[in-house]
A and B are shown apart, each in its own frame.
Chain A
């Protein structure tokens, strides 16, 4: 009898975990947490955004532990996040106060405060740079010295506008009345990590799910809506800004109305780096006597770190979901919101690796039952059957 009953699972698991450690260490060198933080900015930003936790140290550790696998690193951060007590809710962040590092608009060439390119891959050629192979820490320090000198020298000719209070580009369209004004929704946002999503979903829930969404999924769904699985209205990036925003929690002794009126009374916790996008989408609006006019609708995207593609795609999906349309999955909030989460989608897909001996045996029974019927029919000689 060659078969051994499924025993020894514990030993096999221990050995598998050892082997995993070997794979991480086999080249005899380790990735330092600080190196991950310094050199893997793109991955750090993606992992903090999908992990829904702004903690660079935890993210760097997660990336190291996960050997750079984004889904694993996000999973680690989420599991860690769910053990943290939630002690405070910050005051609303006002993105007008963002300390801008980058800010561009595709709607107007000349915008108040100017286009600020900041750091971006948009303007480089995607050619492998062989000189980076031999790059040393000393090279980095030498380059930094030169950079700081240059910045210092140009100090007198720096930006005219303070970078902490640049106006929103789309305020111009708002003033002209070309963007449908919405009333401020002062309702307390729902927390999708504390309350199960129900449908139709509140916009605060939609935005939370999208900002936590898997970068690739949000991008792909946004792309689908842009490419043709949507009403083919070409959106325009009104403003994309990347920068830092202060996070302030209210003084527990002050009531919420006073706290929002006077944030200086609260406690400053630190800054988060965000990407924020406002896109404008042309829409038809009803006019008098059954005629329609055109106006602009707004799509909003925001996420931790510099994740520009994701933030733009999020803004497209936000606008799509504001206009439900049964013809397009990207306009169906259950389709979008139930499937963009990295931890949920990777978890359920990967569960297919688990043993399904029982369910498959049951299925086998059902499949066989359909064949045994046919067999009984075909083995019966034709003339022996009922004369009718």
Chain B
């Protein structure tokens, strides 16, 4: 290692340190923006160091520069455009697309390196072959898996679990082919083998995500994020670059932690989610709501009276709220209540959106101050002191039957909505949620059902509350 390349490695370490500091500053909404800036600076440092290294090296051809610069500029433009125009509700798709391109780029680095070394005199086998193979495997699976996940979220691919006869067998076979061929590559240099690994991994990625339902996407996106990070770290091993190794490890850790948090929030194992088929009806157990239970339906005026005379209201938003684009209306309703001295906060279940933390972003966009956004463990003890819990577009995460064994969601941590003095549920119909089971909260004598589309309901409630409190 020459002095020059050593210095460049040191600059890479500086960049990597910026990533760590940037992520550390994300531990509070007050400092998070600065964290993002520090992280951006780290990236700029790493990219500039790379360019300096290449210029110093001097071996790059004119065509090489053109190809790389044009590719990077076009990619930047595409990334910039999508980042500027994306709706906050579509954030999971965008993150999934970034996972796809990140994993794809990492796989390409390894594939390219392999092809290049294949023609080199020394051959291709070396101590980094294992990392090349892992990078190609993980990167390719991430690429197609993320594309399918984005397609499902966007509605291009059906959000329903896609299950066909022999699908799991086919997927297992693909995994065996991919891993088997990859193992073969450790001892024998072979370009066709690399091609088989790539193709089998790409197909595996598609078949892995297809059977997974829409509401399980928070787990899938987190997992694919961890995969991308791992693939990037493997690419770092292949080319011996510390910045890639550190960045990949950080992202792998982040994705891994979020995957575990999301799976815990659904009380389901990762294997159960990946094997898919949840919520298709075949797992639904018999309804726990007694047949003679009375469902009480109310109109906007009655609901508004309850809200207007409350002193503490907790709003429980679910994905239905985002799907109905009602988050701005809810924020307005909350503002009206607050202006009359009513304490309002939001109870947010970890899987309330389509990706970790999604609901918080949607509410922040609707101008809800972040101190009002409360996490499940923190807000649950407060329901007992709450006059009205207003549930909008959330279902399974409020179902008390999760506390007992024998239900499809048993053991899932839920929001203790039933502890509130009264409960108003805004819902379009008595239809079941993702788990396909009845919600016994609706039969609770303290519960009133307000059947309407979330957006319309919230507008009517706001108007009614305004006339009540003047």
Q: A and B: real partners?
A: no
